[in-house]
Structure 1
Amino acid sequence: MKVVVCRNLGEDAVGILKAKKELDLVVWPGPDDKAADRRWLLENVEGAVGVIVMLTDKVDDELLDAAGPSLRVVSTMSVGYEHVDLKAVGRRGLKLGYTPDVLTEAVADLCIMLALMASRVNNGVSIVQAGTWRDYSWKPFGFCGPQLSTTSPSQTRTAGFLGFGRIAQATLRRLVPFGITHVLYSGNPGSPPDSERDAALQTQHNLRELRKVDLKELARESDVLFVLAPGGPSTYHVVNEEFLREMKETAVLVNASRGTLVDSEALAEALGRERPRPFGAGLDVVEGEPNVGAEHPLVKEPRCVIVPHVASATFETRTAMATRAAYNLVGALFDEPMPSSVDLSSFQ
């Protein structure tokens, strides 16, 4: 049973696959830091019963036709599956595995890091790295930014979430010790708020308020705003010029979901104004990545901190993602439970 693996998954995941003696593993032989060559993948996937792919591997009719009728499962080592043509996979009756949940805590950690960096160290880091710190004399309000935590019991602090799923709620847990008092969130306009869940979270975290709002109120009231919604056409550039103009001058924007949710040009312009709205931004993702060079307007903007899509980049999380991808494939091929599969019934 031929299985194609598009990257080195590490000893733990490979061990899961090798334990199934029926499997004939064909692993991308290139360097770990290089995506599997498309031509190699198309040539080697022929006759495979399963394939493990990454976000960089497009799963479309071309790939599925190259595999042929033997293919039974596609397993992606990612929580997102925008690179997979769900219709093409579904109409062939294939199973699709993905890796949610296991990266929740790591992404939430990074959200807090980006919020702190965007509010406190954005332009300061660039000055140190440029070797020009010595050119700046100390002054009472030099290098100042908005404080994430509250400073007195009477003070309020509002966290906003564009998308309020697992990662957003894990981020909220980390924010509570900072003294967050109010939580606002926006999600799918067609979905009603989960009143029972919201009431439970408000009580659990001793919040004065937790409620679903529209985008305009979310932008206007948030002191720190986390973009954690799925990608796709419905959320394309949801954070645009109009949204940014509503934000506070002291607010911080964090995006750890998909780059397409934030209009990069609009954000760069907003941050570069004499009175910027928001104060700063922390980004794990940027539209068009990884083609984000030194001349990109957000890279050049001192109020913006960018890291190269590393929210899940901990040894623990990547190992868990790789093993989940392996177990998904094994489950589909050997009639065992798939830990995480995408419901494709509407495409079949």
Structure 2
Amino acid sequence: MPKILVCRDIGDKAMALLRAQPDWELVVWPNDSPADARWVEDKVQGCAGMICTLGEKITERIVGAAGDQLKVVSTMSVGVDHVDLHALAKRGIRLGYTPDVLTDAVADCSIMLALMASRCVTPAQSMLRSGTWGTLGWGPYLFCGPQLGAGPTGKQSTVGFLGFGRISQATLVRMAAFGVTHCVYYNSGRVDRTAADAALAAKLGLQSVKRVELPELASTSDVIFTLVPGGKETLHIVDEAFLRRMKKTAVLVNPGRGPIVDTNALIDALKEGWIWGAGLDVIEGEPHIPATHPLLHEPRCVIIPHIGSATIETREAMAMLCAQNLVGGLTEGKIDVEYTLS
């Protein structure tokens, strides 16, 4: 009887699919919280498959404790930096993950953060909640910020992307509706996208879409979305030098991974006015962010607790794909969406 470790109940529909598998023995973490690492290490022994989420660290120790029976790990996430890929690769363990289905939700959230940061929502809400709005009333330039897109002046407006995958391109589609005129992006790949970029610009009514290097991305963009994977290659890729190159009216939006942005450098950038503002769905050290964290008290910083994919429809789709990846991998040898291990 195959033993399956489920580190988190992933919802009625997905759990029903797992329970419908004949002869499977499900071992499910009983709490509505990330599974305890010691529990995982103990219960994973002898398992053929494992369901996990971002909240569980799938380490060399845990993979080793599973034994040779472990064939498939399926994570309910698009990010895989919580999984020791080397530990899986050297044992021939396959990894399923859940990209694509969250593209629209994260793109929507990215736009929300850009608007909130540019339109000074944090200080405006603080005044409203403190009951002091009446002391100022309406003012001609009270809580004004830079407009996304061309606006009433028809100015040139450039949106930048650090990483130009599915979510970035879905975000660009949304930004085009705000009247941006140009798009620049940086990615580490060297595939010639000239023709594809020209076609995309024509489709969206933009004057240009082009790849640039990091210094130009920083210096020319009015709003920058950081949407690259986490890991050593992208750790603090947005550092002090990058932030100092940005326009004073620019907004930085991070819906990707917290460590992409150097927190200390961002604090200085906001305090000293190197940039206009920041919108963060992710932050270094999450979820253990104390109430005293400096970014929580920066007026021009909007922070939300990693809810980019948090629509009911999206999370249900992620859960079903996670379950399908495990079922397919163990019963048919076919994972619907597999992360290529190297």
**TM-score band, normalised by the shorter chain?**
over 0.9
Alignment partner of 1:168 is 2:165? no
Distance 1:340 1:216 in 2: 35
Q: CA contact under 8 A between 2:6 and 2:52: conserved in structure 1?
A: yes
Match of 2:293 in 1: 296
Distance 1:13 1:229 in 2: 28
Match of 1:262 in 2: 261
Root mean square deviation, CA, Å: 1.4
Q: CA contact under 8 A between 2:109 and 2:308: conserved in structure 1?
A: yes
Q: Which moved more, 1:95-104 or 1:37-46?
A: 37-46
Deviation readout 1:118-174 (Å, 9 max, x if unpaired)? 011131112222332233243211110011132247422110001100000000111
- For 2:302, the aligned partner's letter is V
- For 2:251, the aligned partner's letter is V
Deviation readout 1:286-309 (Å, 9 max, x if unpaired)? 111112122111111011000000
Q: CA contact under 8 A between 1:236 and 1:260: conserved in structure 2?
A: yes
Q: By how many angstroms is 1:101 displaced?
A: 0.7
Distance 1:128 1:238 in 2: 36
Distance 2:78 2:265 in 1: 28
Distance 2:36 2:154 in 1: 58
Match of 2:198 in 1: 199
Q: CA contact under 8 A between 2:198 and 2:208: conserved in structure 1?
A: no
Match of 1:132 in 2: 132
Q: CA contact under 8 A between 2:3 and 2:47: conserved in structure 1?
A: yes
Matched pairs, number: 340
- For 1:133, the aligned partner's letter is W
Match of 1:111 in 2: 110
Distance 1:309 1:317 in 2: 14
Alignment partner of 1:2 is 2:3? yes
Percent of aligned pairs sharing the same letter: 52
Match of 1:236 in 2: 235
In the TM superposition, 1:272-291 aligns within 5 A as: 272-273=271-272, 276-291=273-288
- For 1:107, the aligned partner's letter is V
Q: By how many angstroms is 1:86 displaced?
A: 1.1
Distance 1:310 1:206 in 2: 30
- For 1:23, the aligned partner's letter is W
Distance 1:133 1:117 in 2: 18
Deviation readout 1:291-348 (Å, 9 max, x if unpaired)? 212211111101100000000111111111111110110111111531111122x4xx
Q: By how many angstroms is 1:193 displaced?
A: 4.0
SS in 1 for 2:177: helix
SS in 2 for 1:324: helix
SS in 2 for 1:211: strand
Distance 2:333 2:70 in 1: 17
Q: Which moved more, 1:45-54 or 1:303-312?
A: 45-54
Q: By how many angstroms is 1:50 displaced?
A: 0.4
SS in 2 for 1:257: coil
Structure 2 length normalisation: TM-score?
Answer: 0.96
Change (3 A) 1:135 1:118: same
Runs of 4+ in 1 over 3 A off after TM superposition: none
Distance 1:57 1:318 in 2: 17
Q: CA contact under 8 A between 1:193 and 1:212: conserved in structure 2?
A: no
Q: CA contact under 8 A between 2:149 and 2:181: conserved in structure 1?
A: no
Gaps of at least 5 residues in structure 1 are: none
Gaps of at least 5 residues in structure 2 are: none
SS in 2 for 1:25: strand
